[in-house]
């Protein structure tokens, strides 16, 4: 956008009192249009709202600028309504590609969902899951007994992946993190770092006895039999950050925290 034309902006919130009050002030400055019509989306909330908004903006490819009204706000900027148009137009851009999750469930139905952070498999009962793992059609781990496993994008590597003791990946790295969740056997396996061109297949063993759910960000599919995951370069989202506070810098800084 050039400075000669006022951009069309969609303002969304997490519907808390503070975010809604801030949104009312921003709408007086920016106006408000639908996400489908917008040049920019401004999201007022936390990382959960940002993730939801990115999924909504993905089809149009509309860049999203977040301001923190949540708890962590890792993907958000600090709130200020001052010079908001200039901030939008001078923001640093980070492009993220999602994972595509293809699932075969117990009924034989196939379903697909996209994940910007990670695809996760979780046991659904008290019994541990038994999962066979293949990478590019080659079995790499015949049986992992665990609470679950996740495959993370670089953007998602500082989220649940990090909590599960997975590695932090630089945003621009062409890599994915494969991280077990509470592995029981093999007990010392801590996961793998894979190329972003890899196609990872999970086959559930004893699936009737040991039911497992597959989750792509906030989309859950229960009683899965097979799950195949790969990076989808036909979709992308763009996050906006104030200069000097890029997502790349935040991820790098996270690696030196203790």
CA distance 100 to 112: 7
Q: Do 128 and 24 have their domain in common? A: no
User: Same domain for 133 and 73?
Assistant: no
Check: CB of residue 159 under 8 Å from CB of residue 71.
no
Q: Give the pLDDT confidence score for residue 18 in this predicted structure.
A: 95
The neighbouring-strand residues paired with 110 are 104
Q: Are 197 and 184 contacting, i.e. CB atoms less than 8 angstroms apart? A: no
Residues 6+ apart with CB under 8 A from 135: 192, 194, 198, 199, 200, 201
Q: Confidence band (pLDDT; 50, 70, 90) for 70?
A: confident
What integer best gives the mean pLDDT of the chain? 94
Instruction: Clarify whether residues 87 and 106 are in a common domain.
Output: no
Q: Is residue 28 part of a domain?
A: yes
Q: Residue 41: how many CB atoms within 10 A of its CB?
A: 26
Same domain, 59 and 175: no
Residue 138: predicted pLDDT? 98
CA dist 173 and 209 (Å) reads: 39
Q: Which of 39, 47, 83, 242 is catalytic?
A: 47
Structure tokens at 213: 């759910």
Catalytic residue flag (residue 20): no
For residues 88 and 198, membership in a common domain is answered with no
Model confidence at 199: pLDDT above 80: yes
Domain membership flag for residue 2: no
Which two three-digit tokens encode residue 28?
């007086």
CA distance 68 to 121: 29
Q: Which CATH number belongs to the domain containing residue 119 in this structure?
A: 2.60.200.30
User: What pLDDT, on a 0 to 100 scale, did the predictor assign at position 2?
Assistant: 47
Banded pLDDT at 90 (limits 50, 70, 90): very high
Number of domains in the chain: 2
**Among the listed residues 85, 64, 88, 84, the one whose alpha carbon sits nearest the alpha carbon of residue 75:** 64
| Residue 154 falls inside a structural domain | yes
pLDDT band at 248 (very low <50, low <70, confident <90, very high): confident
Same domain? For 189 and 123 the reply is yes
Q: Does residue 8 sit in helix, strand or coil?
A: coil
| Residue 227 and residue 109 share a domain | yes
Domain membership of residue 4 (yes or no) is no
Which secondary-structure segment (H or E) carries 52?
helix 47-57
Q: What is the pLDDT of residue 251?
A: 87
Shared domain check, 224 and 106? yes
Tell me, yes or no, whether 172 lies in a domain. Answer: yes
Instruction: Provide the residue range defining the domain that includes 18.
Output: 9-96+236-254
Same-domain status, 75 and 181: no
220 belongs to a structural domain: yes
Q: Are 41 and 12 in contact (CB under 8 A)?
A: yes
pLDDT given for residue 4 in this prediction = 57
Contact 46, 14 (CB under 8 A): yes
Are 143 and 189 contained in the same domain? yes
Q: Per residue in 97-132, pLDDT tens?
A: 999 999 999 999 999 999 999 999 999 999 999 999
For residues 113 and 133, state if they share a domain. yes
């Amino acid at each position: 956008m050039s400075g000669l034309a006022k951009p069309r902006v969609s303002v969304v919130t997490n519907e808390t009192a503070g975010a809604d009050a801030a949104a009312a002030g921003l709408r007086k400055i920016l106006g408000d249009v639908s996400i489908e019509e917008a040049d920019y989306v401004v999201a007022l909330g936390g990382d959960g709202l940002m993730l939801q908004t990115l999924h909504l903006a993905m089809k149009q490819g509309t860049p999203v600028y977040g301001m923190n009204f949540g708890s962590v706000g890792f993907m958000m900027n600090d709130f200020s309504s001052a010079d908001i148009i200039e901030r939008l137009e001078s923001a640093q851009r980070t492009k993220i590609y999602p994972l595509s999750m293809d699932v075969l469930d117990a009924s034989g139905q196939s379903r697909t969902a996209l994940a910007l952070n990670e695809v996760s498999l979780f046991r659904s009962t008290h019994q541990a899951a038994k999962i066979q793992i293949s990478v590019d059609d080659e079995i790499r781990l015949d049986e992992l007994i665990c609470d679950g496993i996740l495959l993370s994008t670089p953007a998602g590597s500082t989220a649940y992946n990090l909590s599960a003791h997975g590695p932090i990946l630089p945003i621009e790295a062409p890599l994915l993190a494969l991280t077990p969740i509470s592995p029981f056997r093999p007990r010392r396996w801590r996961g793998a770092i894979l190329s972003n061109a890899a196609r990872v297949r999970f086959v559930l063993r004893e699936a009737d006895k040991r039911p497992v759910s597959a989750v792509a960000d906030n989309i859950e599919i229960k009683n899965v039999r097979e799950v195949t995951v790969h990076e989808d370069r036909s979709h992308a989202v763009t996050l906006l950050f104030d200069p000097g506070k890029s997502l790349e810098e935040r991820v790098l800084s996270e690696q030196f925290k203790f």
